[in-house]
Amino acid sequence: MDRLVLRQAWAFVFREWHLTRRYFSWVVVFMFYSLVSSATVALIGVAAQDFRLTLNLVLGVLLWSFLSCMFSDIANSISYERWEGTLEYTFMAPVSRLVHLFGISLYAIFYAAILGIVIVFGLTLFMPLSFAGANLPGLLLVLVVGSMAFAGLGLMAAILPVMSPEHGAQATNIFQGVLLLISGVYYPVKVLPHWLQPFSTFSPATYALSASRKLIGVDNPLSTPTKLVSSPIREAIPELLILMVMGLVLIPLGLWVFNQAETWAKRTGKLKRTG
């Protein structure tokens, strides 16, 4: 990759880092809320005295915290630009939109990983956590592959603040809420209404969760609270292949949709609206 391209992408990563530092108090509040929300969900399993339910809920909150944080950071990047008053400058700068969005996505993944680590350590204050026997390298692979698909969705959702300065950011939350509902994060997809279940096949989180449950050993009858019996990575190959295909389709599609929205915004003068 050209050195200039790398420097440009790094510049967007660096800018996002400084935005995080500038609004650090917001970051602390958001992480605290994410931790408390995650603990509240996980403690349902503890109250039921069911380690499988607890493990399933913990897995759900960790995976969803990572993926949704990355998704929302990418999707709301345009809203952040509007708040800072830099949107027009960024869109008019002589920088490839691919490089721009790659830098934002790279930082979003880093930030989501930090949030996941905070939640893992925070949950240990509320309950004993043991991942002995879990296929952790396999889980890491699922996160990497799943991130590609969610990045593509985030790019498509990022056009909403471009198209509607007043309501676009709220619309991204609706998009995220629908993904949470249909993906079976905290429950099996089969408990959804029959008319809603087919929509779960379009969510990358559905396959990321399915693969992660295999690699953790949630449903393995031999798993115990002190020793999990996980499946080898080959058992999760079908889900990983679907996630890879989704990523290969959604990222170019997301870039194309974003470019179309950007062209429309420039033509109609939407960039000048602060919202």
Using alpha carbons, select from 107, 108, 122 the residue that is nearest to residue 33.
Answer: 122
Report pLDDT for 273: 53
Q: Which residues of the chain have pLDDT under 50?
A: 275
Query: Which tens digits make up the pLDDT trace of 36-58?
Result: 999 999 999 999 988 889 999 99
Taking the alpha carbons at both ends of the chain, their separation in whole angstroms is 37
Report pLDDT for 236: 92
Query: Which tens digits make up the pLDDT trace of 186-229?
Result: 988 999 999 999 999 999 999 999 999 999 988 888 888 888 88
What tokens does 230 get?
């996980």
Helical packing angle, 77-84 and 168-182, nearest 10°: 160
Using alpha carbons, select from 63, 93, 22, 83 the residue that is nearest to residue 179.
Answer: 63
Report pLDDT for 78: 76
Give the span between the Cα atoms of 225 and 148, in whole angstroms. 32
What tokens does 203 get?
């969510």
Burial class of 103 by CB neighbour count within 10 A (0 to 12, 13 to 18, 19+): buried
Report pLDDT for 275: 46
Report pLDDT for 195: 93
Give the span between the Cα atoms of 58 and 76, in whole angstroms. 26
* CA–CA distances in Å: residue 192 to residues 108, 133, 138, 200: 30, 31, 28, 9
Report pLDDT for 70: 86
Give the span between the Cα atoms of 131 and 35, in whole angstroms. 19
Report pLDDT for 99: 86
Using alpha carbons, select from 274, 257, 265 the residue that is nearest to residue 92.
Answer: 265
pTM confidence score:
0.86
Map residue 255 onto helix, strand or coil: helix
CB atoms within 10 A of CB 217: 22
**Eight-state DSSP code of residue 234:** G
Q: Is 201 left (phi over 0), alpha (psi -120 to 50) or beta?
A: alpha
